[in-house]
Amino acid sequence: MIGEFELQKNDSILVAGAGGFIGGSLVAHLRKQGYTNLRAVDRKPISDWYQVFDGVDNHVLDLKELVSCVKATSAIEHVFNLAADMGGMGFIETHKAECMLSVLINTHLLIAAKETGVKRFFYSSSACVYNADKQLNTDVTALKEEDAYPAQPEDGYGWEKLFSERMCRHFREDYGLQTRIARFHNVYGPNGTYDGGREKAPAAICRKIIEAKTSGDLSIEIWGDGEQTRSFMYIDDCIKGILKIAESDFVEPINLGSSELVSINQLVDIVEKIADIKVKRNYNLNAPKGVRGRNSDNTLILETFGWEPNIKLSDGLALTYAWIADQIESGKHLA
* CA–CA distance, 164 with 167 (Å, rounded to integer): 5
The residues, any chain, with a CB within 8 Å of residue 117's CB and separated by 6 or more, are none
Q: Where does the pLDDT of residue 95 fall: very low under 50, low under 70, confident under 90, or very high at 90 and above?
A: confident
- Is the pLDDT score of 334 beyond 90? no
pLDDT digits (tens, 9 = 90+) for 164-204: 999 999 999 999 999 999 999 999 999 988 988 888 899 99
DSSP string, 106-135: HHHHHHHHHHHT-SEEEEEEEGGGS-GGG-
Between 35 and 98, the more confident residue is 35
Identify the pLDDT of residue 267: 97
Cβ atoms of residues 43 and 60 within 8 Å: yes
Kindly list the strands in the beta sheet with 78-81, ordered across the sheet, starting from the edge strand earlier in the chain: 57-60, 38-42, 13-16, 78-81, 120-126, 178-184, 254-256
Identify the pLDDT of residue 289: 78
- Catalytic residue IDs: 157
- Is the pLDDT score of 135 beyond 90? yes
Between 335 and 179, the more confident residue is 179
Q: Where does the pLDDT of residue 288 fall: very low under 50, low under 70, confident under 90, or very high at 90 and above?
A: confident
- Using left for φ > 0, alpha for ψ between -120 and 50, and beta otherwise, residue 125 falls in beta
Query: How much is the average pLDDT of 238-253?
Result: 98
- Is the pLDDT score of 150 beyond 70? yes
Q: Which domains does the chain have, with CATH numbers?
A: 13-188+233-258 (3.40.50.720)
Residue spans of alpha helices (H) in the chain? 21-32, 66-73, 89-92, 96-100, 103-116, 157-175, 201-215, 235-246, 264-275, 299-305, 313-329
pLDDT digits (tens, 9 = 90+) for 56-94: 999 999 999 999 999 999 999 999 999 998 766 677 778
CB burial readout 48-79, b (16+ within 10 A) else e: ebbbbbeebebbbbbbbeeebbbebbeebbbb
- Is the pLDDT score of 244 beyond 60? yes
Q: Where does the pLDDT of residue 1 fall: very low under 50, low under 70, confident under 90, or very high at 90 and above?
A: very low
**DSSP designation for 143:** B
Identify the pLDDT of residue 333: 56
pLDDT digits (tens, 9 = 90+) for 2-57: 555 899 999 999 999 999 999 999 999 999 999 999 999 999 999 999 999 999 99
pLDDT digits (tens, 9 = 90+) for 174-184: 999 999 999 99
- Is the pLDDT score of 309 beyond 90? yes
- Is the pLDDT score of 145 beyond 80? yes
Q: Where does the pLDDT of residue 295 fall: very low under 50, low under 70, confident under 90, or very high at 90 and above?
A: very high
